[in-house]
Amino acid sequence: MTTTSSLPAPAPDFLARETLRLLGPAPDNWVPDHAGIDHNVAIVGGGQSGSAYAFVQVRYATRVVRIEPVAGAAVQHFRLHLQTNAGARIETARKVILANGVAGNGAPFVPAVLSQAVAAGLAAHTADAIDFGALRGKTVAVLGAAASAFDAAAVALEAGAASVHLFARRGHIAATPVSRVRAYPGLYDNYHALPDATRWAQAIRYRRAGSTPPADSVERVLKFPHFHLHLSTTLSTAEVESGHIVTEVQGQTLRFDFAIAGTGYLADPSARPELADIAPHILRWRDRYQPPADARDDELGASPYLGSGLEYLEKTAGATPWLRDIHVHNPAGFASVGLPLGDVPSMRRDIPRSVARISRDLLLADLALHEQRMRGDVPADFGAEFYAGAVWKPAGAALVAA
């Protein structure tokens, strides 16, 4: 027998809110209010990272389209230009946390060879909303060999694609998680203190070894006989002809109905519209460290060089000190911290580190007000009469008094 409950479905965040309720009330806000400041801290991103920083009411359908530093203000802050369903609005914040996902400091990377197919609506990145149902009976190309590429290939096959061809640049599927060797506490906890050359070498080693797809993602596609894996293959051409993508692979002409780029993301703040005002001032790894010729990596060099509190640093000392009030918790911080910020392994170490820096900065910025508060009068919990009856008196003193 099937029954249908008439009770309303719980909110998606019900369990998280219930956990917080059981932990007890949040402490009182200790940051002094300032005229014209709407938020002490604004978190951009409502996923696992943003919610882990401060589980508050998530404002859905709200996009930050510009982060504008306010020059000459008595209290340093930013204007956040927002786009909502109700229209544009501006709010202000003293601190900003960019917990905005894999493209939070850049953009999806789509190989130039697919530009014609993208323009024709015949290709998309895994970051895009793809109608996999429409791929039923179609021949699909997938570029890339990391987790998102294999997952996209699997979903296409499970949706009924006639065949899927996955193209990998390497001669093998990356299967060696080289970062695992440095997962012990001493290195994990103190990674940011390592010399630049050491951190760069580790980042290069990871990039050259490749991002490893989970074994179960690979297994999903291996179940299908019409899955085809092309190793050591990079598409050099992808022409659009009569609604198809036509390419040459090892001397053979292949035709595809659709192509999916599972090719990762660029870590470049200048690619983000909301960071356009500030991107030219951000210190990048290429500004701070010059690797040996055999260890050059322009994409890695474009990533931000973060401070110990995951804050942006200024390219020119003293020119843009407000950059330290923007904290990054997205994968662009990989070279600085040794992990893709936002992944679960980064949360235990890096969220407390960033929160501690934000707390310190807000305290010191209002130090005069806190000193005044510390000098304030404190009422006594009780008076002398509370314990007067227990005060010892010598026996002679009692006789004299009589």
Q: What is the pLDDT of residues 49-79, one digit of tens each?
A: 898 888 667 888 999 999 999 988 999 999 9
- pTM, full prediction: 0.89
pLDDT at 304: 96
Rounded Cα distance between 51 and 43, Å, is 9
Which CATH superfamily hosts domain 110-174+210-263? FAD/NAD(P)-binding domain (3.50.50.60)
Q: Is 60 exceeded by the pLDDT of residue 398?
A: no
- Segment 188-198 shows an average pLDDT of 97
% of the chain exceeding 70 in pLDDT: 96
pLDDT tens digits for range 328-341: 999 999 999 999 89
- Please tell me which residue, 161 or 9, carries the higher pLDDT value: 161
Query: Domain spans of the chain?
Result: 14-105+267-368, 110-174+210-263
Span 121-136, average pLDDT: 98
> Residues 209-219: pLDDT tens digits?
999 999 999 99
Q: Do domains 14-105+267-368 and 110-174+210-263 have the same CATH topology?
A: yes
Instruction: Give 395 or 163, the one with higher predicted confidence.
Output: 163
Per-residue model confidence as pLDDT tens digits over 246-296? 999 988 999 999 999 999 999 889 999 999 889 999 999 999 999 999 999
Structure tokens at 255: 């035709």
Establish how many alpha carbons lie within 13 A of residue 165's alpha carbon, considering only the half-sphere containing its beta carbon.
19
Distance CA 113, CA 238 (A): 6
8 Å CB contact between 272 and 107 = yes
Distance, in Å, from the CA atom of 341 to the CA atom of 347, rounded to the nearest integer, reads: 8
Q: Return the biggest CA–CA distance within the chain.
A: 121
Domain 14-105+267-368: top CATH class: alpha beta
